[in-house]
A = this chain, B = another copy of it.
Amino acid sequence: MDLLKQKILSEGEVYEGNILKVDGFLNHRIDIPFLKEVGREFHRLFKDEGINKILTIEASGIAIGTMVAQEFQCPLVFAKKTKTKNIAGDIYTSKVESFTHGTTYDILVSKRFLDENDKVLIVDDFLAVGNALNGLIELVNKSGAQLAGCGVVIEKGFQHGGDKLRSQGIKVESLAIVEKMDAATGKVYFRD
């Protein structure tokens, strides 16, 4: 997606530790017209898959998921990161190791909102080693729902989480794949 690549090159910032900061348009300040284009692009890529539910994870996935669900005219479900008082009853859970924070946390989704009648598109802002997507895929599998695929805004190709998922036969579409980043120069190189 050329618009995304342009935004990464003009607004993204590269930091040590393989961090690409895009908080000016994707995950702190949200550029809504841009996100609408993201939603349209994922709809174009997955529109023939019979998708009836979008699944993402709090917090950065929610704005993206909202715009994608709007295009698919279907509900959005977002997995929660800790068990709260307000989630009662039966839940599906899985564990996710956070690459960014160096911690492990539980994610959960209520059994009422994901089941064997669902065909699910998972969306998220980043795909690096794939921990968050793997946790979400585990929730889908536990629920008996069918996984249509994964839509990611920015994939860090050099961390190979996307390659592993694709090698398992999962349809993974990333709107930009970063092949290399250099914190010293601030340069970002995309996979062709």
Contact = CB atoms under 8 A, between A and B. Distances in A.
Interface of A: 15, 17, 19, 21, 23-24, 27-33, 35-36, 58-59, 62-63, 65-67, 69-70, 73-78, 80, 84-88, 100-101, 109-110, 112-113
A32 B85 CA distance: 24
Nearest to A33: B73
A6 B32 CA distance: 29
A174 B18 CA distance: 42
A78 B30 contact: yes
Contacts of A73: 32-33
Nearest to A102: B85
Contact of A70 (B36, B77, B78): B36
Given A23-B110, A63-B65, 14 more contacts: A21-B88, A23-B113, A27-B86, A28-B77, A28-B78, A29-B75, A31-B75, A32-B66, A32-B69, A32-B73, A59-B62, A63-B76, A63-B78, A85-B100
A28 B80 contact: yes
Contacts of A58: 58-59, 62
B78 A32 contact: no
Contacts of A32: 66, 69-70, 73-76
